[in-house]
Amino acid sequence: MDSEVKRVSVEETTADRQARYGPPKEHFLRTVTMLNALGFRRLMDDKFPGQLQPDDWPVIMIADKLSRAHHDRDFGDNFHDIAGYVRTWEMLKGG
């Protein structure tokens, strides 16, 4: 490992994230609102009660990236990540 790698404190990281994505409560509220709109009710699902399935995770991460993009639309990394999660979902579905 390169000894020149900058060590970043948790405080620096969270300050950077809040500046880019907004306060956690707002970011997470946007994300769970999207998940609720998508019908994420796994706790009440008869087929898999209380259990998320592997193909749920890309959908959750896409919602999270959309929430982040809502706060900072000029940060293209979120959209690149969304494309990657779509491809991951396709792979999980056998594509």
Reported pTM: 0.65
Cα–Cα distance for residue pair 12/71, rounded to 1 Å: 19
CA atoms within 13 A of residue 3's CA, in its CB half-sphere: 0
Cβ atoms 72, 20 nearer than 8 A: yes
Integer Cα distance of 1 and 49 in angstroms: 44
Domain ranges in the chain are: 10-92
Residue range 9-30: mean pLDDT, rounded: 78
Which has the minimum average pLDDT: 2-16, 20-34, 50-64, 66-80?
A: 2-16
Residue 48: per-residue pLDDT: 58
- Among 60, 74, 59, 70, CA closest to 26: 70
Over the stretch 34-65, which tens digit does the pLDDT of each residue have?
888 877 766 555 665 566 677 888 888 999 99
